[in-house]
A and B are shown apart, each in its own frame.
Chain A
Amino acid sequence: MDGGGGLRLNMNTLDYLILALYFVTVLGVGFAARRAIRTSVDFFLSGRSLPAWVTGLAFVSANLGALEIIGMAANGAQYGVMTVHYYWIGAVPAMVFLGIVMMPFYYGSRVRSVPEYLRLRFNRPTHLLNALSFAAAQVLIAGVNLYALALVMQALLGWPLWLAIVVGAAIVLAYITIGGLSGAIYNEVLQFFVILAGLIPVTVIGLVKVGGVAGLMDAVKGSKLGEAGLHAWQGTGSTDNPLGAHWLGIVFGLGFVLSFGYWTTNFAEVQRALSARNMSAARRTPIIAAYPKLFIPLVTIIPGLVALVTVKGLGAESGSLVYNNAIPLLMRDLLPNGVLGVAVTGLLASFMAGMAANVSGFNTVFTYDIWQAYVQRDRSDEYYLRIGRLATVGGVVVGIGTAFIAAGFSNIMNYIQALFSLFNAPLFATFIIGMFWKRMSAVAGFWSLLLGTLASLVTYLGYKFFGWFDFNSDLEESFWGAGIAFVTVAVVAAIITPLTRPKRRDELEGLVYGMANTTLADDSLAGDAAWYRSPVLLGGIAVLLAILFYLPVF
C-alpha cells in the first residue's frame, strides 16, 4: 500500500497536543456518561432524555463521517456545484419529512429501533429480515469507516495502518461501551463543532488564495469543469452535465427515493431522534439537523473547488492526487501549525463520528431486535444491558476485521457501500406504504420488502456484472435501481394485501396514519408550544432555504 508520502503533514508538538486533548476529552465524556446508565434504555437510547439541539446536532454529525467530508469535497472537485444536490434536495426535504410526518409513528409507538417498528406493524419475519440486514450493514460499514480513518492517519501522520485501525477502534469502543448512546451522542455534538473548527480555516484561506468567491468562479470556468461546474440545474435537461444526471433522476431518484430511503429508515440516524426527551424534541431532531446540513456544502464543496483550481494534477487515477485527497492536500498547502492540528483533529473526529454511529446503531438492534426477540426472551433488563455492552465489543471487533479485509482489497469498500445502499429504497417504500395504508397486511409487508430488495439487487448486479442493463453512470443505476425497487414494493403490496388477512385495528394503534394513539400522554415541556419550536414551521423554513440557496447557483 502506498504510504501517500506526498500527503504527509508537518505536524509539530503543539498540533499533537491539540489532537491528544481531543482524544482525552472524548474518553472523558464516555466515562462521565457512565453514571447516567442504569437501565437498557439509558444505554441504548440515553434514557430518552436529551434536548432537541443535542439530538439534532448528533443527527447531523452521525452522518458527517468518512464519506461525507472527504467524499463530498471530492465530488465538489469532480462534479462542481452540482454536488449541492446531495444536500439541498438529497437530504433536507427527507430530514424535514422524517420530523414532520414519520417521527410521530416512531416516537409515539415507543419502539426502541426502526426494525422494531416493522415487527409491530407487520410481523416477525419482516422484522428479522430487516434487523439482520441492518446489523450486518452497520458492522461492515463501521469497518469501512475505520479503514478510511486509518488511511488518513497513515497518509497524514505516517502512522502504520494497523496501529491507526486499532487506536481508532479502541477509542470508539471505549466511549460507547462505557458511556452508551449518551457517550456517542455527546461526542457527536462535540465532534460537530470540532469538524467545523477544522474545515472553516481551510475554506477561508482557500478562498483568500483564489481571490474570494468571484476569483473562485473565474478559476473554475477556466478549469476542466468549465462553466458547467458552477451550475446545479442548468444542463440537466439531458445527461450532458458533470454529474451525468437528468433533472428527473435528480428530483425523483436522488431527491425522493434515495434520500428518503437513507434518512428516514436508517436506524443509525433515527436512533438519535428516539433518544430525545419528548415527542416535540424528537420531531425537531432531524429538522434542527437540516439547518447545519444546508450550510455544510460551504465547507466541503468550496474546498473541493479550491483544490481543483489550485492543486495541479488533481484528479489522478491513483496516488496522492486523487480527488479524495482534496481536503488533506489543502490542509498541507495552506494551514500553519496550530490550525493544522485543529483541522487534523476535525478530520479524525469525523471518521470516529461515522463509526460510532454505526456501532451504537448495531448494538441496539443486535440486543433488542435479534437477541431479545429471537434468542433470549424474558430476561431482566440488566441482562440486556450487559448484552448491549458485549455486542458493542463484538461489533467493533468485526469492524476491525472488516477494516483489515478492506485494507487488502480496497474495492471491497465500494461494494459494501453499494450493496447496503440497495436495501434503503425498498425499505423506505415498505415503511411509507405501511404507514399510510392501514389495510396493508403483515404477509404483504414481508414479501414487499423481500422482493423489493431482490429487485434492487438484480438491477445492480445486472448492470455491474452481467451486462443485462445499461446505464450512463453508477449514479444513474442507483436512481433507477431505487425507483424499480420502490415500484416493486408497491405492486407486491397491492397484489398480496387483498389476498391476505388484515392486521387487527388495535394492533395498528399508533403505528399507522389515521389510527392515532389515543392513550398517548401529552409529554410536552414548558415552552414546547412556542411558535419557534413548531416542527412544521421549522421544517417549512428549512425547505424554503434549500430552494432559495439554489437561486445563485441555478
Chain B
Amino acid sequence: MSEHSDRDRRQRPPHEAHDPMVEETEEERSRSAAARLFDIRRVIGGLFVAYGVIVGLIGLFDSQAEIDKAQGVRINLWAGLVMLVFGLLMLAWQRISPPEAPAPPGDDDGR
C-alpha cells in the first residue's frame, strides 16, 4: 500500500507470515483436507424438516388442555409448520447455490 515494499521482502516465501512457526503451519496447508468438509445446510435442513414433521404431527392431535396451556395458540402446529418450511428453505438454498468451486478455498493465497 505504501512505498516500504522494498527488496528484502520479495525474497520471502509466497506466504505472508514471517515467523517460523506460523510459516510451517502455513506450508502444511497445501495438504489440507478442508475441501472435503460437507455442507452444513444439509444437516440444518434435515434436522428442521424432521422437527417440523414431528412437532407438526403432535400439533395436529393436540388436546384442548394442551392448547389451553399455550394460551389458546396451536403452538405445536404453527411451530412445526415454520420449522418444516425453514428446513425446506435450507435444503433449497443448498440446491440453488451449492458450495463454491472444487478448488479448496483454503488454497487461495496465490500458490
Contacts and interface: CB of A to CB of B under 8 A. Distances in A.
Interface in B30-66: 31-38, 40, 43-44, 46-48, 50-51, 54-55, 58-59, 62, 66
Interface stretch (A39-47, A74-82, A289-297, A447-455): A39-47
Interface residues of A, number: 78
Q: Is the interface of B mostly helix, strand, loop or mixed?
A: helix
A120 B18 CA distance: 9
A209 interface: yes
Contacts of A46: 34, 37
A112 interface: yes
A110 interface: yes
A546 to B, nearest CB: 26
Interface in A387-426: none
A196 to B, nearest CB: 10
B28 A209 contact: no
Contact of B47 (A21, A48, A119): A21
A182 B37 contact: yes
Interface residues of B, number: 63
Contacts of B88: none
B22 interface: yes
B80 A47 contact: no
Given A109-B16, A110-B17, A517-B16, A278 B108 contact: yes
Given A335-B75, A518-B4, A368 B34 contact: no
A205 B75 contact: yes
Contact of A208 (B33, B35, B71, B108): B71
B92 interface: no
Q: Is the interface of A mostly helix, strand, loop or mixed?
A: helix
A336 B16 contact: no
Contacts of A334: 69-71
A17 B31 contact: no
Given A37-B33, A197-B79, A519 B9 contact: yes
A341 to B, nearest CB: 8
A67 interface: no
Given A21-B47, A36-B33, A510 B58 contact: no
Nearest to A517: B16
A381 B34 CA distance: 15
B80 A49 contact: no
Nearest to A518: B5
B71 A205 contact: yes
Interface string B19-35: 10110111011011111
B47 A22 contact: yes
Interface of B: 1-2, 4-5, 8-10, 12, 14-19, 21-22, 24-26, 28-29, 31-38, 40, 43-44, 46-48, 50-51, 54-55, 58-59, 62, 66-67, 69-73, 75-76, 79-80, 83, 86, 99-100, 104-106, 108-110
